[in-house]
Structure 1
Amino acid sequence: MDLILERDGPWCVWCSAPLDASPGALNPPTTEHMVPRIKGGPSWIENELAACRRCNNERGHQTLAGWLQDCRGLGRAPRTDVVIAGLERLQAAITERGGLRRARPYIASQLRRLRRM
């Protein structure tokens, strides 16, 4: 988690709430998988973002673009640029490492939708 917070900043990707990774913190970060494992997503750091527990639990397996729209509708401040950068990193990692055929179309479609938002 420390690497993710260093890379993307210590804020929830969905609501921009500050995250605190110290022991006993009130708002600790949770690992948000951009491509859920159920949709073929890998357990790679490139597939992970930091989210608050509330946002991570509420998203469930909803698509990134769909959940981002929902967050906006709820008055939250999603960090679209961080999500797009994360998907681009994941796409590059998959190209380099190969495999993950199930995840590739999902990533491409989510990138298209997010870039139009």
Structure 2
Amino acid sequence: MSKKEVVLKKTNDRCGYCGCPLTLSQVSVGHIISKNKGGDNLIENLIAACRSCNGSKGDRTLAEYRLWVRWQDICREQSFSVYQLIWLIENTDFTDRFPRDDVEFYFETMGWI
């Protein structure tokens, strides 16, 4: 079995973030902890993702990506970066003015992180 197949099986042939079904030809293997932030290529740090989720996560941490997913409509509309968003959340009443449900990634529902 290839590394890509092993990673896809970890999430039951689904995107580890949004949970959409994936085939081997559709899967994009991503890093839970990005390589530029100290992550490695071990199976434990790899996750099956759809191209949309893997592209939007980029090198963000899981916490940053969770914020991005939760608030992406406002970020895109206002052209906020994730760092500007964090500042707004920490220093203003942003979350009270724009309430959102918490985000739980598919792999978290599986209980492996």
Partner SS for 1:85: coil
Aligned length: 81
Please give the alpha-carbon distance, in whole angstroms, between the structure 2 residues aligned to 1:14 and 1:58: 11
What letter matches 1:66 in structure 2?
E
Residues 16, 79 of structure 1: 8 Å contact kept = yes
Give yes or no for the alignment of 1:20 onto 2:62: no
Q: Does 1:7 align with 2:10?
A: yes
The separation in 2 between residues aligned to 1:57 and 1:83, in whole angstroms, is 22
Q: Match of 1:71?
A: 69
**In the aligned structure 2, how far is the partner of 1:17 from the partner of 1:84?**
17
RMSD: 2.6
Map 1:37-116; keep pairs closer than 5 Å: 37-73=35-71, 78-81=105-108, 85-86=112-113
Alpha-carbon separation, structure 1, partners of 2:108 and 2:47:
12
Instruction: Give a deviation string over 1:8-49, Cα, whole Å, max 9, x none.
Output: 211111211111114xxxxx0111101111011111111101
Where structure 2 has 5 or more consecutive residues not aligned to the other structure, the ranges are 73-100
Unaligned runs of 5+ in 1: 23-27, 87-117
- TM-score between both structures, scaled by the size of structure 1: 0.58
The percentage of aligned residue pairs carrying the same residue is: 30
Distance 2:40 2:63 in 1: 19
Q: Greater Rg, structure 1 or structure 2?
A: 2
